[in-house]
Structure 1
């Protein structure tokens, strides 16, 4: 199955990189969305799937990356603005990670959601205080370049998620997920590993936020820090399956394509049908699309 995963992954990556050459705006937009959600779901899995610390605050990293990128666009090169957004998200994760990761279970879920809302409101206050209720963005790269960059982030996030699972670092994170107290007792540097995973999971969303806001050409804090982003990331990870690297990829593909199909065929009932479908899927396919694929191929 691993060889098949690699083949399918390479096919998706190559296909995504070739799509901008077609010049089809709709297809490029679809690939941009797919790659964005793959990157976000994989980055989320670096922390939450490996350690069991369920985060509902990944929107804050997306928003911080978008805000920093907007502030720097036009004054520094595009790549530097994007890198600064990713670095700012990582620095924020490093600052708040140590105290935040002291709590576990539902308290961590609530804390991460609350932090995201806090930062969103702080940014909204700052923008309101300086009289800016939205920022238009000029001098952005072509859409083809943005698509290539987003596909690259999706590939990079997938490689990072694989490395986080199949390394000594990943083994330590798995030990934390199974029994944090026992892991610390046998010498696993629990606090350091959790913080590193938290920082690693923030870098890609920061860059994703920068690319997303450059695509729209307009920054508005409520949209950049939208909590729906966090909920969608978790939903995709659960739909795809959290036990394998291919899970977030399958979840992003399934969720995005289902959303597109429902939006085009049932625009009035889109959200209702999508919600019912996801509820039924989680109830009857608890291991996600990844587990379903294993069942269909006879893999235990």
Structure 2
């Protein structure tokens, strides 16, 4: 910009001098010289000012020397000063498509994880990030991108394939969020959230997961059948013990006299219909004659 402004100024001055010396008599040449001089002057003046946009932080460098950070607004500078700006708005790092993270479970199975890391730059650490990375895009490529992928792999490596694929996805996402935040915060990078959008197993792992699920279902059915059999056996045991106990009580209560008494009472009732009734209720099997006509 400075070089262009100097060239325009030089052109305007040259045309003005030639016009003054009557070397150039064309009126259009004079107007062109005036315009180029004005434009060159404005461009030259613009090299002494820089506007930092809202939600940006500027880092000036002059001949290799790094200055302090500039907040949003108008700043005066040397024409030899370059300004690198960093946006403080949240940015998304999408690890999907060609950037999908290939991870391995604790069992060695391969899964593919798609996630989005929402991050932003802490304005207070802009100068340190400039010295470390050089630009906002370099911050993402050199810091956020590799650290996020490393942490995702490490977290999935502590879980089985089934946990990573289904049962523990929320817990894994929360753990990844926490670890990325802890890793990037000291560098001045704020993590606003991690969204684990999709986890899909490889074909081989999917087959292994299906087989494991089938085995678990078969094991659960077998265990249920064993528990049912044990319950039924316990029930039969309790029933038999109850029957045996009842029989013992009955056997202990049935003495000869009680049996004789009950037998006589029974045949007295029968003699109501049959006046004389013989029954082997006597001792040693001798019959007892019950005469229903006599009381």
TM-score after normalising by structure 1: 0.23
Answer 1 or 2: higher relative contact order, Cα 8 Å, separation at least 6.
1
- Which is higher, the Rg of structure 1 or of structure 2? 2
User: If the length of structure 2 is used for normalisation, what is the TM-score?
Assistant: 0.23
Relative to total residues, which structure has the larger strand share, 1 or 2?
2
Q: Which has the higher helix share?
A: 1
